[in-house]
Amino acid sequence: MADVEKRPDTVRLQRISKAFWESAALMSAVELGVFTVLASGNNTIETAANAMGIEAINAERLLVALTAMDLVTRDGKTFSNAPDVDRFLVEGQPSYAGPWMLFGKPRWQGWGELTERLKTPVSEQRILGMYDETFTVERARTYHEATYSIGMGAARRFHKQVDLSARKKIMDLGGGSGCYCIVGAQKHPGLKGEVLDLAPVVEVTNEFLSQNGVTAQVTASVCNFTQDPLPTDADVAIMASNLPQYNREIIAGIVQRVFDALEPGGEFHLIGEMINPAGDGPLAPALWGLSEAVNHSTGLAHSTLDCIGYFENAGFVDVAEVEFIPDTLTRVTGYKPGA
Ligand SMILES: C[S@@+](CC[C@H](N)C(=O)[O-])C[C@H]1O[C@@H](n2cnc3c(N)ncnc32)[C@H](O)[C@@H]1O
């Protein structure tokens, strides 16, 4: 008998329309420390409730939801963490990424106003988007506690893929916590780094550099990379995780300015949330692009092809794309001719 084509139903639509309930459950779980509590052996509703300082009914609500989300598993009266949760969401471990799970929370209200923000005229967009006068040192510190908790892993991955042992200096555009320079300096004692970022961030960058003992090799400078001069003594440039914050014209201009500033023979690695050339995914970069409507910036999701074009138009050669974090970050790399 021929297959009867399945009639569309509302299951998928219902799930997506309430997906923010899941986000809220995960973020509250991190804030209440439930995964840390379970790992410490307080793994029944009553003992977990006590350890979190909430009432049993609320611990039950949360644990049942987290179980249905496959973040914890249940065996009768006891609950335990799923393997990824155990590795990344138990506080006190070096791989703890709880702050990164809370990274989007300051924009919770903004996402709730997405419709209004999508109706905002282009003339009201700001080049620096969310980095306005409300982006204080305090906010930058919370923001980069989050990026650091995930960025050090990304930086280690980068330095495993890319050998900078023969290079002398990295300029890191929008380097934030400085993670790419920190790992580079730890791996190559002769390598220097200069983290370029906005004024409130640079104060925080210096804290991370001190904490990691790399201040003899890595410095941080105030630089708005969309307009300020870039250092001219670097043979490596990195720009990671800020691509969707700017429109095509601005990114093309930045890539050109990096090309002009790099030493001949230098290399540029643009690590960004890029969509595919067909423009139909992956989902994470597409949503990073949408989030720029929330931030009132000019930004959007750039494709891998767009980025390769920015590099080639600027004069870079041997331009190549490499998947960096599957379905999330792609690395486009190019070299400045001459040496
Ligand atoms: C999401 S964070 C990424 C930080 C770091 N690259 C990483 O991968 O962990 C984006 C960073 O870019 C910086 N940034 C954005 N626009 C900038 C600009 N125009 N000039 C300098 N820094 C900028 C922000 O202040 C922030 O520190």
- 150, 279: one domain: yes
Residue 1 has pLDDT above 60, yes or no: no
Distance from residue 40's CA to the centre of ligand 1 (Å): 36
- 321, 215: one domain: yes
- Please check whether residue 284 is in contact with residue 276, taking contact to mean a CB–CB distance below 8 angstroms: no
Q: Mean of the pLDDT values across residues 273-302?
A: 97
Q: Which atom of ligand 1 is nearest to the CA of 225?
A: 20
- Any atom of ligand 1 within 6 Å of the Cβ of 152: no
Residue 226 has pLDDT above 80, yes or no: yes
- 276, 154: one domain: yes
Distance from residue 10's CA to the centre of ligand 1 (Å): 40
Q: In the chain, how many domains are there?
A: 2
pLDDT in tens, 135-156: 999 999 999 999 999 999 999 9
User: 316-326 burial string, b = 16+ CB within 10 Å, else e?
Assistant: beebebeebbe
Among protein residues, the one with the nearest Cα to ligand 1's atom 1 is 241
The first and second tokens of residue 283, run together, are 């989902």
Question: What pLDDT does residue 339 have?
Answer: 73
DSSP state of 10: S
**Cis, peptide link before residue 282, omega less than 30° from 0:** yes
Domain holding 224, by residue range, is 127-335
- Any atom of ligand 1 within 6 Å of the Cβ of 184: no
pLDDT in tens, 201-211: 999 999 999 99
The first and second tokens of residue 195, run together, are 């983290």
Distance from residue 318's CA to the centre of ligand 1 (Å): 26
pLDDT in tens, 96-134: 999 999 999 999 999 999 999 999 999 999 999 889 888
Q: Mean of the pLDDT values across residues 287-315?
A: 97
The first and second tokens of residue 65, run together, are 């939801």
Distance from residue 155's CA to the centre of ligand 1 (Å): 15
Which percentage of the chain shows pLDDT scores above 90?
A: 96
Distance from residue 174's CA to the centre of ligand 1 (Å): 3
- Please check whether residue 95 is in contact with residue 35, taking contact to mean a CB–CB distance below 8 angstroms: no
- Any atom of ligand 1 within 6 Å of the Cβ of 177: yes
DSSP letters, 228-292, are SPPPSS-SEEEEES-GGGS-HHHHHHHHHHHHHHSPTT-EEEEEE--B-TTS---HHHHHHHHHH
Domain assignment present for 103: no
Distance from residue 34's CA to the centre of ligand 1 (Å): 31
Q: How sure is the predictor about 5, in pLDDT bands with cuts at 50, 70 and 90?
A: confident
Q: Which atom of ligand 1 is nearest to the CA of 246?
A: 16
Averaged pLDDT score across all residues of the chain:
96
φ, ψ of residue 315 in degrees (nearest 5): 115, 0
- Please check whether residue 69 is in contact with residue 25, taking contact to mean a CB–CB distance below 8 angstroms: yes
- 161, 276: one domain: yes
Among protein residues, the one with the nearest Cα to ligand 1's atom 27 is 176
Q: Which atom of ligand 1 is nearest to the CA of 227?
A: 19
Q: Which atom of ligand 1 is nearest to the CA of 226?
A: 19
Residue 300 has pLDDT above 70, yes or no: yes
Question: What pLDDT does residue 133 have?
Answer: 87
Residue 213 has pLDDT above 90, yes or no: yes
The first and second tokens of residue 186, run together, are 């730890």
- 16, 164: one domain: no
Q: Mean of the pLDDT values across residues 17-33?
A: 98
The CATH number for 311's domain is: 3.40.50.150
Question: What pLDDT does residue 3 have?
Answer: 62
Alpha helices (runs of H) in 124-230, residue ranges in sequence order:
137-161, 179-187, 199-211
- Any atom of ligand 1 within 6 Å of the Cβ of 224: yes
- Any atom of ligand 1 within 6 Å of the Cβ of 226: yes
Q: Record the pTM.
A: 0.95
- 82, 132: one domain: no
Domain assignment present for 113: no
- Any atom of ligand 1 within 6 Å of the Cβ of 176: yes
The CATH number for 19's domain is: 1.10.10.10
Distance from residue 315's CA to the centre of ligand 1 (Å): 24
The first and second tokens of residue 131, run together, are 């980095």
**Maximal C-alpha separation, the chain:** 74
- Any atom of ligand 1 within 6 Å of the Cβ of 102: no
Question: What pLDDT does residue 2 have?
Answer: 55
Q: How sure is the predictor about 275, in pLDDT bands with cuts at 50, 70 and 90?
A: very high
Q: Mean of the pLDDT values across residues 268-274?
A: 98
